Structure 1
């Protein structure tokens, strides 16, 4: 393997590297010392300096040439007027890093942090940690005896923490704890949901960009948004409040006022200034559920507030500022809304960087049981009473909850309400079979509009597939396809239809994927779910 060239990047030490006359060789000078080690050769020294220290750089360059003629010193004047000003130092180093022609494939960069002010050293560390300097930190130390002419010692520190097993394990544990926090400790078994939460945890910690949560009502969008806020709060990434608003509750002129605030007298009834929810969310997190319900004016104002962190309150000529993180929720297909012209394309593009579709409970049947346990524990903590199912009652409830009859139209809200009712009615902390029977009957009545038996009306396959394709079907295939289409048209989702169609055989599979089985069946006839259900 070809040996990489060693390139040192560091500031000249205005005190440590100075010295005149022969006596200077009796002194440990870090920038010269790191070129004196016999076990490596510094190919190039990118020597940074500010102010009027050019003559010192020339002197140090001459001394390096005397002890290490193989080393080329390249001076760089960095425009820093105050080496103790963090913003100025970091900005100057950032500008240097942007224009420097790094070649990590052929060069190994050592970032020297022994010289310079403490602020300079910290900024060099941060630039290396963020990989703006793609190298390792070089920390040099003087020899034990100051009068010694030895170059002292040095240490190379690689900030790629993934290389350190113990640290990597700690980060892995921290991430696992973050994921568990987002799920409230619920041991979910749905692979797709778990993968999604893993990514949300990483994004929540690293990004302040808007996030879009899609899914049906009751799928847990508001709950997850609050957990993201609480996770970021524990990591000291947010100082402000969690502000939540369902945009479907906004109407007329009050919509803009609620979001952006208003000044006194801006309209009839504006008797006093109002800050608005965006300002209330300053330094915190704003969750706008059902964002697709916003009107065009509010969409335009929100876009400006997201991009520029400032906006005009209603009736005000002066802008106000608010630095908030946005999580948006919707049960609509916003992409279709954009095409239809009812949702701004630029706003959709801005909030669509991190988009997650939360599956409804009917699409996560394997997670019903752990969520049932969670809801019971929540009830016990809130009311100070332990409540449990007896064995028969639990088995009966789970049979119904996993059956095609249970459409969970309200998703986790339906499950939460169901558990609350049964726990409240439990005698001596025990949910009996009779309580479950009554609750199942209640849910069946609640969902009867969703669980009607498929209509006996004939499915017109020719209308669905075209005359030629329908005429080419065997009678067996035509009858089977017609029956499947009837079930699809009376189901809430693809997964719901799949569960009904494969209710028996799915129990024999460790990881049933009813939606995929149904999708493949329809594909045999060149059909898709939306087409079958008349949604295309």
Structure 2
């Protein structure tokens, strides 16, 4: 395994001495290569445009003392080398853009050179895993010593340093629960599942299938798996996500696999497609069960062979992507019914993880409550918190049989958003909690009385996941529109019910046209709603 050092050029300490006298001075970057027991195969040297001459001199000197070492130059220009945010951002960009090969190379991060700000940033990036290595600290030799200096390699495995581990226990815990969004969950089964998923995310490139009810967190978990894989050097492309329920007709083939110009009416230019955009990255297909059988067949080949044919093309193209699929449907049942290809299911369910509903892991209500409060505070720009009595009352209600949490964590997120917004001085009181509990009861009771909540009513018409990008207010309006149309004999009758007040102010009424326009915004036809009623 090769050893690679990453170091910032020391514009002061590496410039000591003129001519051959420079060899009489301790220079930290050169000194790394003057130790017989520290062999470095490659140095990644970071410097700005003003230090090109010094970088050339240091590189030549390294070649004299360690000819087997390769030196690679990287230009990193800090607008202000003492501004923490600027320096951290640019070093983070370097780390994210560097192609780490942890199975073939070990890394040392030299933290002796650069400004103190840069040294701190290098430490933080190493501790967080963006620079996957150990710290290297160099120093001059002790007085009256002929040695070229001294060095120390620091392992940031905090479990080896009890005193440090206790100081940074919270940060360490947050790192170990990364896939849980930094939330210390209490549900034992959920924790075991996430622990295994973390191993699979790092060790395997095989497809992952995430199942669970709407609002259980499938999209967020896929995002975190992507970030974890990218941090560990498992992929270098971007995350491409699509809800398959939003794809209809010819647009499905085009969106997924791309198309050639002229492939169909409106195809005025070539389109790469989502699979191609996910090359070297991760493709998340939420609600994969909504794909048609033709698209499923093409997707299966793309997963197995990394090749597919864009719509309207006679030539294959390729894309090396990793896949995560999501669904709230029973794909095995759909396969038995012939609505989902059994061979595709067999290919994507090597690693299947079912996310439980919030009700099924109600012991995790409190840590998720803390997470949502912190997230809202960050977005609002000020601290928001419960007083003790309000917190206890909200948790007691949330754990009670009265709380259905029908939309799972989306219900919790929306609830915290409302209370945080109404909290005077950022303090959520019992009065605010009482009002929110009443609101949640009405919401869930209305859903129970109607036999289905707004999301279900919409998704029964438009397909699974179609309501996810809609505000709850818009969901209520569309669900009510669907219900009125189903109960009416004609669009004119539906219009009279819907516009019973505003139509009185019009000289002429075209209620049918207004209903048709509203339904048309969502691609719904009145005739189709009535046909569904007759089938039922």
TM-score computed with the length of structure 2 as normaliser: 0.52
Question: Offset at 1:395?
Answer: 1.2
Question: Offset at 1:382?
Answer: 1.5
Alignment of 1:176-191 (within 5 A): 179-191=176-188
Structure with greater helix share of residues:
2
Question: Offset at 1:179?
Answer: 4.0
Q: Show the counterpart of 1:279.
A: 276
Match of 2:351 among 346, 349, 354: 354
- The reply to whether residue 377 of structure 1 matches residue 374 of structure 2 is yes
Q: Show the counterpart of 1:209.
A: 206
Alignment of 1:487-502 (within 5 A): none
- The reply to whether residue 197 of structure 1 matches residue 194 of structure 2 is yes
- The reply to whether residue 312 of structure 1 matches residue 309 of structure 2 is yes
Maintained 8 Å contact 1:405/1:451: no
Deviations 1:150-198 (A, max 9, x none): xxxxxxxxxxxxxxx969xx9xx99976541111210100000000000
Hey, what's the Cα distance between the residues in 1 that align with 2:392 and 2:448? 22
Hey, what's the Cα distance between the residues in 1 that align with 2:375 and 2:207? 30
- The reply to whether residue 248 of structure 1 matches residue 234 of structure 2 is no
Q: Show the counterpart of 1:222.
A: 219
Q: Secondary structure at the match of 2:186?
A: coil
Deviations 1:38-81 (A, max 9, x none): xxxxxxxxxxxxxxxxxxxxxxxxxxxxxxxxxxxxxxxxxxxx
Hey, what's the Cα distance between the residues in 2 that align with 1:350 and 1:393? 49
Maintained 8 Å contact 2:175/2:182: no
Alignment of 1:15-54 (within 5 A): none
Q: Secondary structure at the match of 1:367?
A: helix
Distance 1:388 1:176, change over 3 A: closer
Question: Offset at 1:450?
Answer: 5.7
Hey, what's the Cα distance between the residues in 1 that align with 2:414 and 2:293? 36
Alignment of 1:46-65 (within 5 A): none
Q: Show the counterpart of 1:345.
A: 342
Q: Show the counterpart of 1:236.
A: 233
Match of 1:429 among 419, 426, 430: 426
Hey, what's the Cα distance between the residues in 2 that align with 1:336 and 1:293? 13
Hey, what's the Cα distance between the residues in 2 that align with 1:430 and 1:383? 13
Unmatched 5+ stretches in structure 2: 1-102, 107-158, 452-536
Distance 1:277 1:382, change over 3 A: same
- Kindly tell me the number of residue pairs found equivalent between the two proteins: 289
Distance 1:177 1:384, change over 3 A: closer
Question: Offset at 1:434?
Answer: 1.4
Hey, what's the Cα distance between the residues in 2 that align with 1:221 and 1:283? 22
Hey, what's the Cα distance between the residues in 2 that align with 1:451 and 1:270? 45
- The reply to whether residue 417 of structure 1 matches residue 414 of structure 2 is yes
Hey, what's the Cα distance between the residues in 2 that align with 1:227 and 1:442? 32
Maintained 8 Å contact 1:407/1:450: no
TM-score computed with the length of structure 1 as normaliser: 0.52
Maintained 8 Å contact 1:178/1:231: no
Hey, what's the Cα distance between the residues in 2 that align with 1:179 and 1:305? 33
Deviations 1:354-375 (A, max 9, x none): 0001001010111001000000
Q: Show the counterpart of 2:4.
A: none
Hey, what's the Cα distance between the residues in 2 that align with 1:328 and 1:175? 30
Q: Secondary structure at the match of 1:448?
A: helix
Hey, what's the Cα distance between the residues in 1 that align with 2:327 and 2:450? 30
- The reply to whether residue 363 of structure 1 matches residue 346 of structure 2 is no
Maintained 8 Å contact 1:289/1:328: yes
Hey, what's the Cα distance between the residues in 1 that align with 2:401 and 2:183? 24
Q: Secondary structure at the match of 1:447?
A: helix
Deviations 1:448-493 (A, max 9, x none): 1566799xxxxxxxxxxxxxxxxxxxxxxxxxxxxxxxxxxxxxxx
Question: Offset at 1:327?
Answer: 0.3
Question: Offset at 1:393?
Answer: 1.1
Question: Offset at 1:264?
Answer: 0.3
Alignment of 1:108-187 (within 5 A): 179-187=176-184
Hey, what's the Cα distance between the residues in 1 that align with 2:173 and 2:418? 33
Deviations 1:178-237 (A, max 9, x none): 541111210100000000000000000000000000000000000000000000111111
Maintained 8 Å contact 2:174/2:183: no
Hey, what's the Cα distance between the residues in 2 that align with 1:319 and 1:243? 21
Maintained 8 Å contact 1:407/1:451: no
Hey, what's the Cα distance between the residues in 1 that align with 2:319 and 2:342? 23
